[in-house]
Amino acid sequence: MEYWHYMLCGMQTWETAFTQGVTLRLKSGFPLLNTELYKYKFVDIPLCPCGQAEESIHHLLIDCPHYTEARDRMVSKIECGYHNTQTAPYFYCINTKVLLGACTNLNSKMGSIVTEAVSSFLRDIPR
Tell me how crowded residue 78 is: count the other CB atoms within 10 A of its CB: 22
Write out the H or E segment, with its range, that includes residue 96: helix 96-99
**Average pLDDT per block of 10 residues along the chain, 127 residues long:** 46 58 64 84 93 93 95 93 73 79 82 89 84
Alpha-carbon Rg for the chain, nearest whole angstrom, is 16
Q: Report d(CA 49, CA 36) in Å as an integer.
A: 14
pLDDT score of 102: 80
Residue 47, strand partner residues: 54
pLDDT score of 89: 55
Q: Report d(CA 17, CA 25) in Å as an integer.
A: 12
Amino acid present at 76: S
pLDDT score of 9: 54
pLDDT score of 8: 47
pLDDT score of 23: 65
pLDDT score of 90: 47
